[in-house]
Amino acid sequence: MPNGLNLTEDQIVALPLDELALLILRDADSTNAWNWRSWLLEARQSGVKRPDAALALSEAWNWLDRHGLVVWSLTNDVDKGFEISRKGQQLLQDGLQWLRAVERLDVELVPALEHVARPQFLRGDFETAAFAAMKEVEVQVRAKAGLGTGPDEVGVKLMTKAFRQGGPLFREDLEGGESTAQMNLFQGAIGLFKNPSSHRRVDFSDATEAAEIVLLADLLLRLLDKI
């Protein structure tokens, strides 16, 4: 096998494609590999004879390419030459959980979150991204409700004042308790996630949970736009 990969053919076939790709990327990085076809040929010469195992390795290289983890080499013009991209380097540092969280956020967010949350998230500052996303919800609720910044117009109290029956954002068009449920949704999201320094229900070092908070903020802002 190529230097450091140390997998049997059965293991190559059984591994999830993203995990196999990460192992290949680590091997390519540690051995200064620069040509993916040469890497595959070396794998064949080192004992990967089964067609399904060889195909799995080729699929993993294709996966790396499709996810922008390797790019065309800028230092040589040899066919099949590659370099590990900046995104690939961050994957090597932060692992698959980071990549999966980034791809979880690979959707169109409302413009405000594209500006205030996505950049921080991509830099790995998950706590700032989650806080900024929920802070944006608070700011836009206050603006849409026409409320100020008094002691009863921040956080959960703001959500209650804005969405309660008779409040500026109460929706008469919703059935039964749906308007109350909408108020509860905004209250709960702000109460749990707006202030990381006082609400530790979420580990903000967890990229996946931080991504979900940003997506929740995106949903809340879309609901707000409908009012």
* Confidence class for position 200, pLDDT limits 50, 70, 90: low
Q: What letter represents residue 60's amino acid?
A: A
For residues 133 and 140, what is the distance between their CA atoms, to the nearest angstrom?
11
- 49-97 residue pLDDT tens: 899 999 999 999 999 999 999 998 877 777 888 999 999 999 999 899 8
Is the pLDDT confidence value at 124 over 90?
A: no
| Distance from C-alpha of 30 to C-alpha of 23, rounded to nearest angstrom | 11
Q: Please state the domain count of the chain.
A: 2
Q: Are residues 65 and 112 in the same domain?
A: no
Burial-class residue 11 by CB neighbours within 10 Å (0-12, 13-18, 19+): middle
Mean pLDDT, residues 167-194: 88
99-116, pLDDT tens digit by residue? Answer: 988 888 889 999 999 999
Give me the domain span that covers residue 42: 9-94
147 shares a domain with 83: no
Same domain, 122 and 160: yes
CATH of the domain at 50: 1.10.10
Residue 3 within any structural domain of the chain = no
Task: Examine residue 1 and state whether it is found in any structural domain, yes or no.
Answer: no
* 213 and 119 within one domain: yes
Average pLDDT over residues 152-159: 89
Residues 74 and 117 in one domain: no
Between the CA of residue 170 and those of 138, 164, 183, 216, what are the distances in Å?
16, 6, 8, 20
| Same domain membership, residue 74 and residue 171 | no
What pLDDT is attached to residue 202? 52
pLDDT in the model for residue 206: 79
